[in-house]
Every structure is written in structure tokens, then in C-alpha cells.
A and B are shown apart, each in its own frame.
Chain A
Amino acid sequence: MSEMIATTKKQSRQLSAEEIREIEHEKTHYPYTQAVGLEALKIVQKHQGWVSDESLLAVAEYLDIPVADLEGVATFFNMIFRRPVGKNVICLCDSVACWMLGCDDLKAQITSRLGIEYGETTEDGEFTLLPVPCLGACDKAPVLMVGRETHRHVDPENLDQLLNELQRENTKSKKTM
């Protein structure tokens, strides 16, 4: 009896009422609950910032789909975060057009200013830096994306400005909290 049928060591968390409401809404769009998996993960990420094991289990349980399936979806898409990320996720494009127009320098600038490499999060939890292969705006390279906002023709000056703004907003929101 040493090794019983597996039970996951982690337990699912309780989904919030708001998360459930939004997932239920998505369910009306699809004939199979499997299809709702991705949308449900996006909803959870919207509310929690990332998809923890506890959230993953909660969604799998709620939708009655195997957690292995849902993990397959969650890990297939780079923008579903299975690790905690900062409040601002900077997605810096490193594909050909942006590379030709100096994205490496921009990356170095971010790293020196915020002290994070690709895949890392600042200690204060404000910023995460990720490379992305293309944001579909090669004619306006180099490009980066923060949240839902795409920033085109990025250069050292407007990058500094952008980071200033983001940091200001962060401190502001901290104060109001």
C-alpha cells in the first residue's frame, strides 16, 4: 500500500464569484467545456496576475476536465503565466526587424535600470521582462508591449520615459493602497 493512486498534493483554491461569473459566461459560447479551458485560464490570470497550481486545479475541477489537459493548454501559450509575474510585464520583441534596429540595446537598458534579465521579476514585484518573437509591428520596430499597450519605435529616450511613467504609477497606486 506504499504508493496509492496518485492524489495531487496541492489543493485547488476557491474561485472567486467574479471569476465564476465570467467563466460561466464563456461556457455559453462553446459546446464542450474543454474549449472553455483557455478562456477560463485567461480570466483567472486577469484576476490573479498568474495561474498558480491551485488556480489550475480549481479551473480543471470547475470545468470537469483533466488537469493534465488543462496544463497542456496553460503551458502551450507563452502568455499564460504559470509563475508569478510583476505588475507590469514587459514583452520585448527580439525577432529579426527589432534585432536589426537595436532591441539588444533596449534590453541592456532595461536590465541595467531594473536589474532583471529575461524571465526575471524585480524584487519589488513591479516588473517582469520577457522576450517575444514578434508583435506584428515590424514596420515600427523596435517594439515592446506592456500590459495591453504596444509601444512602437522605441528608443533609449522614450523607453526611459515609459519606465518613469510606469514607476510613478506604481508608487501612486501603492500610496492609494
Chain B
Amino acid sequence: MADGMSEKVSITIDNQAIEVDPDKNLLEEVLSAGLDLPYFCWHPSMDSVGSCRQCAMTEYADEEDQHGRLIMACMSSPRDGARYSLQAAADFRAEIIEGMMISHPHDCAVCEEGGECHLQDMTVMSGHTYRRYDGTKVTHRNQNLGPFIGHEMNRCITCYRCVRFYRDYAGGTDLGAQASHHHVYFGRYDDGPLESEFSGNLAEVCPTGVFTDKVFSKHYSRKWDLQTSPSICAGCSIGCNINPGERYGTLRRVVNRYNDEVNGYFICDRGRFGTGYVNDDAVRIRQSMTRSSQDADPVLVSNADALQQLQDMSGAIGIGSPRASMEANFALREKVGKANFYAGLSQQEFAILQQILSIYQDTPAHIASLKDVEASDAVLILGEDLTNTAARMALAVRQSVRHRSFEKAAEQKIPLWHDAAVRKLAMDERSPLYILSPHATRLDDVSETTHICNAGQAARIAAAVASRFDKEVLAPEKLDKAEQALVKRITASFKGARQPLIIAGSNSMSLPLVQSAANLAQALYQKNELTQLALVGSEANGLGLMLLMEDSQQDLQQAFATGTQSAIVVENDLYRRAPTAEVDHFIAGLEQLAVIDNIKTRTGEQAHLVCASATFAESSGTFVNYEGRAQHYYATFKPVDSILPATRWLAPETSLATLTQACSQTLANCAGMADLTPGQDYHYAGLLVPRQQFRYSGRTAMRANKNVHEPKQEQDPDGIMSYSMEGVSPLKEARVFNTPWAPGWNSNQSVFKFQDEVGGHLKQSSIGVRLLDKRNSAEEGGYIALDSSEKNTAFPLYHLFGSEELSAQSQAIQARATSAYVAMNPADADRLGFNAGGGVTVQGNGVVPLLLRDSIATGSVGISVGLPGLNVHDVLPDVSLEPAPQWQAPPQWQPDNIIVSDRLHKLHEQEGD
């Protein structure tokens, strides 16, 4: 937030001298100093509003002052040399919490928050142990807030954190604070699903059990009874750090795990609610099986037989996957040989990801982490619908536009932590955000301009801006007057920016757009060395897969062209990567197809051998995120014996650690992977890091209904964590950090006890290793000649809920997902003779509904990606549609609000100069 550090000042708190940062508020500094001071409304990512009055302390005017005065720590700047006391305000704090607790139902025993409740912790800490109020409590009617979030308003203590997160921080509009005094109510205008893509964070932001994780509630377990591990979200290319929790062999929930450089305190709803597939027998493969032919019924086989059959497949090609770990892909590459290893990506996605990797190696610009994105003060997004393809980055971009408000506050000498004042001062003034997109997006409400145009035109506009920074870039033609004016505005914004950022990515399915983004970053870098670039991908390990390919050009189409008779596919459904007919043809030509996967897929249905592999929750490995950050995830629990991690199927004798080390030694740019996991010498007296908390209950009793003998403790051959409560919790400098907990701090707020300062680095844990950071200042790469063959007649449309393969198989996500559709501008529909509300026949994919939207670029058609009913690879790049007047809308079909951006009232389009 604040740029640079001010000089520290010294204060005394209860006669203890501490050094503090005068630009921070006292509450932060008290907590950073390791002291306990209760609070509710303040949050490290949302700063102070001073609404709850809980963090009171006493400030003394001078050495003689005996009485002092009460101050709210979160609303006070530390004064150099001043004397403060926490003790002296203890009675006041006890009274405040007593007031807040008057209508609280004290239903901890049946409340999902119980045991990890900030309100419980603070109540105990404040010393409110006896309830004097015996009057009637206020009761509220709760709302049905949709499939993700439960609502129990009676527990509310009106700290306002929910609306501050939901509206102020995440830009949601459908949750509000209603009524006044003891009737204050936080909810929607009426019942209905919370619309924000970040609604799940309410469960963590709410200090008590008003907003709870509804999916978790359905198979609830106390926090201390959950077996957890440090993990990485597999939902997109951002690689948010998560903490999954398991009980009785099922994955119960996912919560945020703090990583200051990536996700900080928040994750998106796909990551939180999109893991139900792990427990779903209808989705999972839990036992390996064989088929004598592609149409025959499968026969279950033992692990030993399946391993033997895999072993016998000599001469097979291997097809890797962007949703499999580095180690699994590497093990496959080792098994089949580098020459026989194919990426399992469409030609187009391969080309774009390869371009991204090469850009990252050449660009002088800094590759932006999410923390860097937040710190940017001028942002240009080229073609990526971030909210639906890399949601957490959209949330970071939303914070970046606040830069202007911090500048204004600094001019007025308003402390930057003074959230309400800083927001009110700026009102609608924001740092510039420009979006060039073929359709409206969810960030349009904070953009300076959202310009609707196809990818080719966006690439040309970016090139025009680049040409204004470096004459070497040729200014493109074909810009109309409005676009020229836009180029002028973007140029001016970038010129005035301290830390400009350009965002693009592979999801726009446009190679020239990514190239143009890189060229612009390069040109801008000539003028500003703080220029940043972020190029997102679509899946958890897309960039990692490209690192594995090294100089190989072998995409899926090339695998098809080999005419091989034998193939091993790891965690990949080829029907999501290539045209249906091509995959059918390829599989028909195979004598042997082995699929190692954790979910049932159309590819797996035709395989001769299907090996049941573990999901991210049941196995360990490494993902490389969009910025080239390698991050290690640890298995949360051990699956049934018939399920093995993909690495064990492919390299039965090799430990995961050996594979990780082999990646670091073999692969170019991957040396840093060696530092991801601690070595064997890490163990303290041979003890492992426990996955279970020391309060974990039922160890000897939880399986007693099946067998009274306590089973042997599960062993984890792959890691340094134990499936047990025994072991040594993270030591200082530990690189493995599980669930945070500190004495007196049972909720997730306890994480500050592990940070070097509030909101800073974790003293423990690994934040990952950035593999592509340049050790020396790079040679200047040249500009890339834009690929001009692209036609831009169609563009992809993504859904946070539904477009990603794994999360889309989770029931909670399905409740918010829709089926396939095609969208176009009404003007085009008129011209082409398509009717509003009708269907269209898409080549090779039957009939899907047609949506007409003013906010879609004319001259091109939007095709939904990954939704059931349409394979986007059949359609792109040459889309052919026929009207289907006989199409009848299904009974529940609602054409409104399908495209997320539909909910925006209107497009913020400013044209002219």
C-alpha cells in the first residue's frame, strides 16, 4: 500500500519499549509486536474503519499523565515517544464485548464456526465470561444465499466486515447493510445466490458464524478434527495457496492459505467450492480396470496387474497434461522417452503457451505476481476475461485502481490505513484500467475504458500504443478515430504511471494478442524500468508443462499424426483438447490406450487400461503457475489403496522427492525446484510434520464401527508430513507450514502470529520459487512479428463456474453453471437471419441456444468453452452456424444473466478525446 518505509519511531506499551512504523496504525503495530489486542472490524487487507470499538487502548499525554485517554488502536497513528497501555483499557474492552454479545445466541456447540471463531477468541481474551443481560434477544430472518454460503444473522455482532469485503474490496453489489441500531441486517435485497465470484471469503472474513461455508456444513467437522496440508488450488493458472481439510476419508472443505505474493487472504469461489468431485463416486475412478476392446465392458484389475500392463506397453507415446503435476508429467516423459512425449495441448494453446514461455525468457519487463498486480497504477488488459479465467487476478486488478485514492489521501495527509476516509475522498477517481475485450467484463465498473473489439483489433491497438513509446514498433493501420483517441489516452496514462502493467493470456486463444502484449511491455520498458507483464494460462500447470517440453514442438495434433498404436495419457481428456473427429480417429487407431486419471472422461471410457490416480488432495507434487512460480502441494489424506498418485503408476520405484530433484536437474529453467521441499535432514529427531492438530479426536475410535483394532498409522512415502497428530509443528524457518494456530487464536486470524509483520511475509512456509526470474539483467529481446494469419471470426467465452474441467464436476459449482451456448451481437444476428431467443446448429455439435448481447463485438461470434454440449475445438477457428428455428428453450432456461457481465447495468464506454 504505502510506498517505501518511513523511519521507525519508538513508543512504550505498558512500559515495554517497541519500535513501530508511523505509517501504520497502532493496532497493526501492537499485533506485529506479538502482543494480543482484541479487534473485529479491522482486517489486514481491508484496513481500519473504527466501527467495532473493541481495540481500545490508553494513550498518555506525557510522563506525568496518570489517567490517559481512551483511543481506538486501529484509528490511531503511533506518536513518537508516546506512552500507551493495553492493560488500562481492559475494562472498557470487556464492556464493549458485553454489549456486542447481548443478542448473540451463544450457540457455539451447533455453530460451524465454533472452535475456529474469532468472536469466541476475542470474547475470552476480553474477559467477558459472565452474561448479565437476561432480556429478549433480537432475532432475524435468514436468507437463502444460494449453494455456497449459509446465513445465520442472529450471530451477527455488526462489525461490517462482510460488506466491506464484499462491496468495497470485491466490488459485489448484492449484499448490503440494512436497517439501523440493534436491527442492523447484512443480506441481500431478497433471497438468492450471492453474485460475487468471491462470496466464499465471507465465511473467513466474518469473525463469527453469520456467513458459513454451506458445502462444508453438509458434511461438517470441527477444525481440530480435520486433517489438513499445505496445498495449491488446481482451478486455474494463478496457483492460490489453499488448505484442504479431510475427515473420514472425504475432502470436507478448502480454505485460504496465506501467501503474501500470491493470494494473500482471499481465494475465489471456484477454488473454494469446486473440489466436490474428489468425493463423488459418480465422477471418480477408484479402481483400475481393463477393457479387451474399446467397446467392451471394463473389468476391474489389481494394482499389481495394472502396473504390469503399464510396464508392458513398450514403444508407447506419452501424452502429458496441464492439469497433472510436474512430477507426473516428468515421470511419463522419462517412461516413454523425450522423443515420444507430447504435451496434450491443442496446437493453438501449445503455440500460445510456448510463446508465453519464450516471452518470459526474453522480456526485460518484470513478470507480475498478484502482489505486483495490486501495486500497479496503470493497467491494460488485452482480451483476457480475468474474472472467469484467473479470478483472483481480477480481484487484484480491482485493488490496483485504488492507487489514485492513496495518492489523494497522501496529498491530504490522511493515513492510508484510514479506509473509509481514503475511499470517500477518492469517490469515483481511480487509477487507469483499460480493458480491450470482445465482450463486456466484470471489471468494467472500475475501468476507465472498456473497448469492445476482437482480438486482432486489440493487438493492433496495443501495437499503436507501443509505437508511441518506441519508434521501432510500426504503428498499425486500420484504427478508427475513436481507437486513435483511445491509444492517446492509454499512452498518456502509461506515461504518467510509476508501475504500469500489461495483462494478456492464452485464454483469448489469440497468438498475436499475446505477442502484442509482450511488444508493448518491451517498448514501455524503454521508458520505464518498472514495467510489468502478466500472461495467464488456463490450467494449474500449463506453463510447467511447457517447461517440460523444452525445445520440443510436440503438441496433440502431432501425437495424432504419429500413427502410433500405443499411447499412455496422464490426467487428460483429449476431447477437451482437439476436434471430436480427430480424437475419435486417433483412439480408433490405437491397439493400446492407457489412461491414468482420477476422474471418468470420454477418453478414459475407451481406454484398454484405466489406472485410478489420486487428485491434488490425495497426492503431492508441484505446479508452476502463470508467473513461472513453482509451488509444492502436499497430499491432504491417503486415498483407498487402489488409488495411486500418477507418479507411482509411471515410476513405481521412484520417490516423489527424487522426481522433483530430477526435474530440477534435467529441465532447463527448473533448477529452483530443488529448493521447494526441505530435504531429509530437515526432520527434527526424525519427526515428521503432523497433518493433524494436537486436539484431533477419535484416533482410536473413529473406525470402531468397522473394526475395534486401531489400524497402523498411514505412511506417506512421498513427503515429510505424517498422517498423524504426532510430530513437530513448524519450527522457525520451516518451509512446511500447515494450518495456523496460536494460543488464544483458534481462527484463521492467527496467521499474523506467523508473519514477520501484519500482512507481511510468513516467517515459515514456502511461497514458491519463481523459476523464470532473471538472475542477470536480460539481453534485450527483439520485437516479435505479429502472427497475421488469425481470422477472429469467433472468440471464446469462459465461465468461472463450469469452464474448468475438474471443478465443473462438483455439485456446488454445477448449481451455478449453465450449459453451452453461442452469443453474438443483435446487429449481426439480424444481418445473418438469426432470431432472438432461438437456437443455432453448430457444426458437429447439435443445437445450442443463441444469446444476443449488445455488449459483444460485431463481426464475431462468442463460443462458450468447456460447458456441456459443445466442443470449442470443433468450432474454432472457422465457425459455421445454421439457424435452428425448431429449437425449444428447456423449461428452466433463463436467457438473462447467463453471461456474468450481463449483470452490469451498462458499459462504461467513453469515446472521443
Which A residues are closer than 8 A to B by beta carbons? 1-10, 32, 53, 56, 64, 66-69, 71-72, 75-76
Contacts and interface: CB of A to CB of B under 8 A. Distances in A.
Contact of A6 (B179, B180, B193, B906): B193
A64 B428 CA distance: 15
Tell which of B189, B819, B896, B906 has the most Cβ of chain A within 10 Å.
B189
B176 A7 contact: no
Given A71-B176, A72-B178, A76-B180, A7 B896 contact: yes
B903 interface: yes
Contact of B905 (A32, A64, A76): A64
Given A71-B176, A72-B178, A7 B894 contact: yes
A3 B173 contact: no
B147 interface: yes
Nearest to B193: A6
B897 A4 contact: yes
Query: How extensive is the interface on chain B, given as a class?
Result: 35 or more
9 contacts: A1-B819, A4-B816, A4-B818, A4-B892, A6-B195, A68-B188, A68-B189, A71-B176, A72-B178
Given A2-B892, A5-B193, 13 more contacts: A2-B814, A3-B147, A3-B816, A4-B897, A4-B898, A5-B195, A5-B898, A6-B191, A7-B192, A7-B894, A72-B176, A75-B180, A75-B185
Nearest to B801: A5
Nearest to B188: A68
Interface in B428-461: 428
Tell which of A64, A69, A72 has the most Cβ of chain B within 10 Å.
A72
B175 interface: yes
B668 interface: no
B816 to A, nearest CB: 7
Given A3-B193, A7-B897, A67-B189, A72 B177 contact: yes
Contacts of B817: 1
Contact of B176 (A1, A3, A68): A68
Contacts of A75: 178-180, 185
Contacts of B190: 6, 8-10, 53
Nearest to B194: A6
A4 B814 CA distance: 10
Given A10-B190, A66-B173, A67-B189, A5 B178 contact: no
A53 B195 CA distance: 20
Interface string B813-856: 01111110000000000000000000000000000000000000
Nearest to A61: B905
B34 interface: no
A8 B818 contact: no
B798 to A, nearest CB: 15
Given A5-B193, A5-B903, A8-B192, A68 B819 contact: no
B672 interface: no
A64 B147 contact: no
Contacts of B470: none
B298 interface: no
A153 to B, nearest CB: 29
A9 B177 CA distance: 21
Nearest to B892: A1
Contact of A68 (B174, B179, B815, B892): B174
Nearest to A10: B190
Q: List 7 tightest A-B contacts by C-beta distance, closest first.
A: A6-B192, A68-B176, A66-B173, A5-B897, A72-B176, A75-B178, A75-B179
A79 to B, nearest CB: 12
Nearest to A60: B189
Nearest to A68: B176
Nearest to B905: A64
B117 to A, nearest CB: 26
A9 B894 CA distance: 13
A6 B146 CA distance: 9
Contacts of B818: 1, 4
B282 interface: no
A76 B177 CA distance: 9
A2 B890 CA distance: 12
Interface in B160-198: 173-180, 185, 188-193, 195
Interface string B412-432: 000000000000000110000
A69 B897 CA distance: 20
Given A1-B892, A5-B816, A8-B190, A69 B176 contact: yes
Given A67-B189, A71-B189, A72-B176, A3 B146 contact: yes
Given A5-B897, A64-B905, A76 B176 contact: no
Nearest to A74: B178
B178 A76 contact: yes
Contact of A69 (B147, B173, B195): B173
Interface in B899-913: 900, 903, 905-906
A7 B898 CA distance: 11
Contact of B427 (A3, A6, A32): A32
Tell which of A53, A64, A67 has the most Cβ of chain B within 10 Å.
A67
